[in-house]
Amino acid sequence: MEFKGRVSIVTGASQGIGEAIALELAGAGSEIVLVDIQKDKLEEVAKKIEDKNGKASIFCADVTRMDQSIKVIESVVEDQKKIDHLVNNAGITKDNLLMRMKEEEWDAVLDVNLKGVFNFSKAVIRNMIGNRYGRIVNLSSVVGLMGNPGQCNYSASKAGVIGFTKSLSREVAARGITVNAVAPGFVVSPMTENLPESVKKMFVDMIPVKRFGVVEEIAHAVKFLLSDEAAYITGQVINVNGGMF
């Protein structure tokens, strides 16, 4: 899978799965546009790409803001004339039991995880339609499919991503644009590092392969869905969860 000449936007690219996706796509030859609110970390990822002779640009932007989303897309189009790939990866958690969950915890998670997907997809779709080519991959989650105690907000946002993916795929399929989702299971990442060991063991016991995934395994699935080899796949959810669900 060669991506030479392609332009790929990755949101939430400063760490974890987003960073792994950016590095994977850069290694295949794509020019990477890194988007996040953590400028210092974005610069570190860009340096990793450039140290391997790749090309990367950074945009410090808040995916919950439509105006900032549009500004990123307009800047990239002005510079590159096109956008081939969009990976909506930006996500946060604010876990709590529903009876204790604050309204702001609900709103923050839905704004980043779901509205962020809407904002960037809406901002980019006109350019892709004009070019009659595009690949969009949205990051959902295994808990968007099976649920998880203490994550009503996160589960709802990731289930919403799946519904959004299936609907948008039908709107744009005839224009040469595919829209798919990847639903990771539990992976070794900054989000899972803070879990108590007892909780980690509980989750590992639920996973048939008996381990957490690694971010590179998620990146491989995303890369495939962005490739021309996946041109006849759209509106799908690819589960990468070790058989957990």
**Annotated active-site positions, please?**
154
Report the Cα 97 to chain-centroid distance in Å: 25
Q: Residue 10 in contact with residue 25, Cβ under 8 Å?
A: yes
Which pairs with CB-CB distance under 8 Å and at least 24 residues apart come from 40-44?
A: 41/14, 41/15, 42/13, 42/14, 44/14
Q: Residue 134 in contact with residue 171, Cβ under 8 Å?
A: no
Q: How far apart are CA 29 and CA 3, in angstroms?
A: 5
From 137, 181, 185, 135, select the one nearest 159 (Cα to Cα).
181
**Could you give phi then psi for residue 86, rounded to 5 degrees?**
-130, 125
Q: What is the DSSP-derived secondary structure letter of residue 208?
A: T
Within 10 angstroms of residue 239's Cβ, the number of other Cβ atoms is 18
Q: What is the DSSP-derived secondary structure letter of residue 112?
A: I
**Could you give phi then psi for residue 195, rounded to 5 degrees?**
-70, 140
The helix (H) or strand (E) run that includes residue 207 is: none
Establish how many alpha carbons lie within 13 A of residue 67's alpha carbon, considering only the half-sphere containing its beta carbon.
0
Measure the N-to-C terminal CA separation of the chain; round to a whole number of Å. Answer: 28
